[in-house]
Amino acid sequence: MDKRYVKSVYRASEILDFIAERKHVTLAEVSRELGIPKSTAHEIIYTLTAVGILEKEEKTGEYSLGIKLIELGNHAQQNLEIRRIATPIMRELNEELDETVHLTVLDDDEVLYVECFESSKRLRTYSVIGIRAPLYCTAVGKAILAGIDEGEVDRVIERRGLKAFTRNTITDRDKLIEELKRTRKRGYSVDNVEHEEGVRCVGAPIRDISGRVVASISVSGPTQRITEDKIPEIGRIVREKAERISRLLGYR
């Protein structure tokens, strides 16, 4: 086994694969067939059951895959579909502006970067695929945050806070609400050097067939190229590309 693996997580994966194949299994079967000490198997299965990944039939003591896996699978499938549809349009946007283009999805009150096309210029923002970032101070995050109601915004603020990353970061709740209103009105969001020094970003929301904002795209680059006077035109282009992706996802 690779030394970088977390042993308990690796064993949890083994157990899930085993249960997926057998449909219904007991703790003793898991321990015996996989060669995992019964106490260890019990801890892992107990935890997986507590979070809904496994379900236990009390009468038989057997375990089966839980409803949580369906939810996670649906999210994964949706993210793959968004990425598949967005990729050619992101490439167009990258070629048109020659600035770095990112695609993000909402995940646990943060944005998760899932696709990127980098600028060909030497001075550029780089790919951050797999990295998470706050909603309130990134263009991709604001685009998503503007698509949810104020009560939900307050919940995110309460949970995640409004930490300052630069002197431009909005750390006041009321100012953020006003910024989100402007974002909704114009159809695009702006990170005006709020998350990273020297970087300005312009983003727009992506909606699914129900109209829910499920992802966002952005153009980012150094402030000397993405100047404030260029933001409206870049915003128009990014918004149009995001709207095309939304239509391909079924939004009308």
CATH number for position 33? 1.10.10.10
What is the mean predicted confidence (pLDDT) over 183-211? Answer: 95
Give me the torsion for CA of 3, 75, 135, 9, rounded to 10°.
Answer: -20
Q: Long-range contact list for 81-87, CB < 8 A, 24+ apart?
A: 81/249, 82/114, 82/206, 82/214, 82/215, 82/245, 82/249, 83/114, 83/115, 85/245, 85/248, 85/249, 86/115, 86/206, 86/215, 86/217, 86/245, 87/115
Whether 93 and 56 share a structural domain:
no
Whether 97 and 51 share a structural domain:
no
In a domain, 2, yes or no: no
Look up the pTM and report it.
0.73
For residue 202, the model assigns a pLDDT of 97
For residue 75, the model assigns a pLDDT of 66
Whether 81 and 43 share a structural domain:
no
Confidence of residue 165 (pLDDT cuts 50, 70, 90): very high
What's the total number of domains in the chain?
Answer: 2
Domain region containing 30: 7-65
Whether 35 and 134 share a structural domain:
no
